[in-house]
Amino acid sequence: KKPVPRAKGIDNSLTLIKEGFQFLPNQRQELGSDIFETRLLGKKAVCIAGEEASEIFYDTEKFKREGAMPKPFKMSLFGEGSLHGMDGEAHLNRKRTFLSMFTPDRVEDLKRMAIKHLDEKVSKWEHADEVVIFDEMQEILARAGCEWAGVPLEEEEVKQRTREMIDMIDSFGGSLSRFKDGKIARNSHEAWLQDIVKGVRKGKMSPKPNTAAYIMSHHRENNGKRFDKEIAAVELSNSFRPLLATAYFLTFGVLAMHEHPETVEKLKQNPKYSHMFAQETRRYYPFVPAMVAKVKKNFTFKGYKFKKDTLVVLDIFGTNRHPDSWDDADSFIPERFDGWKGSPFSFIPQGGGDHHTGHRCAGEWLTVIVMSSFFEFFAKNLTYDVPEQDLSFSLERMPTFPNSRLVIKNVKKAADYE
């Protein structure tokens, strides 16, 4: 058996926080290996990358989630007791409840609602001095997500609830102040959703039976009991809050349209192009750096021994740009997805493997349809200027977005606006 190459340094937590998205790719390059050992948060961790590595990582015979996720993630990003950390039968049952909400007709519902809220905003943008795309996308998605989930959102609380959901998403990158903001936001967000669950259970609110508000309030587990109100609120949140993460990708996509102007014509002409463009935006731009799991039972992979209970980190960003899977991996080329043969393991911006039996993101279809319909909408229906600004983004900050938050001006509806 080969010894796993080891990164320099006693504990690399601080280097990770400092180097952000580049930490894992940098170490791999330095050590010349897609597998290496390091210490993170005082624990031994084996870091892996690439298509084959992601295939073993998403093999539920080899890996489990129990005890893998650092506590701060539960306290701010995902919530205590959420499906992200579950295994086996319990996870499968919980996942089934989630997936029952993401049927094709419900995906279409969200697309329609999101476009409606975008259209309402455009009427305001026409009269605005400038429009900050990142902020506007967050609010549109908060409005659409709540409507879709059957969660009432009063006009005067739109800003607060949007901010809270973004603070939770923005909390994962290792900054203490952002983590604190995320935790405060989660407390308020969960209290709000617990009241909604109580209201639905008492019949004071009647969301439609196909919405998350209804399903998470009334669903009964195999033991015949409903979720505790705490779990119901956490999972109701997980049914629509992550939609706001799409604001990062939407902003990057609008940036890509600006930096690759030839794509705008293609988005207008070719009905298949918006899908390829959305996929390439999810592959190329950084959002999720990595995922963690623990070895369930001993196994050997590529001659390296993986011992039970070892913490394993899968390099998500690095796998999406791995040269073994992608030609010219560091270039933005939507056409690479034209007739792409597909792989559940090389293209993993929202996790890999199977949506139903594994941990792959339940909201992937929602994300892709919102992205592709928004990019098409921007290309076909709007004209605008992108003034001089700092459009660069840091690879050290996680998550990241253009420094200027992407400002546009002189927004006008195209002649054939629809």
Residue type, 245: A
| Residue whose CB is less far from ligand HEM, 215 or 362 | 362
Applying CB under 6 A, what is the total number of residues that bind ligand HEM? 25
Member of 60, 76, 217, 239 binding ligand HEM (CB under 6 A): 239
Which span (131-139, 196-204, 235-243, 381-389) binds ligand HEM, by CB under 6 A?
A: 235-243
Closest contact distance (angstroms) between CB of 413 and ligand HEM is 27
Residue type, 85: G
- Beta-strand pair 43-48/311-315: parallel
Measure CA 389 to chain center. Answer: 26
- Contacts of 266-273 spanning 24+ positions with Cβ under 8 A: 266/334, 267/375, 267/376, 267/378, 267/379, 267/380, 268/379, 268/380, 272/338, 273/334
- Contacts of 326-335 spanning 24+ positions with Cβ under 8 A: 326/283, 331/284, 332/256, 332/259, 332/260, 332/280, 332/284, 333/280, 334/263, 334/266, 334/273, 334/276, 334/277, 334/279, 334/280, 335/276
Closest contact distance (angstroms) between CB of 243 and ligand HEM is 4
Q: Binding pattern to ligand HEM, positions 244-273, x when CB under 6 A?
A: -xx--x------------------------
Considering only residues 87 to 146 of the shown chain, the ones binding ligand HEM according to CB under 6 A are 95, 98
Closest contact distance (angstroms) between CB of 24 and ligand HEM is 15
| Residue nearest ligand HEM (C-beta atom) | 363
Closest contact distance (angstroms) between CB of 20 and ligand HEM is 16
Considering only residues 319 to 378 of the shown chain, the ones binding ligand HEM according to CB under 6 A are 349-351, 359-363, 366-367
Tokens describing residue 354: 């199977």
CB 46 within 8 A of CB 37: yes
Q: Binding pattern to ligand HEM, positions 284-313, x when CB under 6 A?
A: ---xx--x----------------------
Q: Which residues pair with 304 in a beta bridge?
A: 301
Member of 50, 150, 242, 286 binding ligand HEM (CB under 6 A): 242
Q: Hunting for tokens 């093999």 — which residue is that?
A: 59
**Of residues 12, 17, 69, the one with CA closest to residue 38:** 12
CB 355 within 8 A of CB 364: yes
Using rule CB under 6 A, residue 150 touches ligand HEM: no
Q: Return residues touching ligand HEM (CB under 6 A).
A: 83-84, 95, 98, 238-240, 242-243, 245-246, 249, 287-288, 291, 349-351, 359-363, 366-367
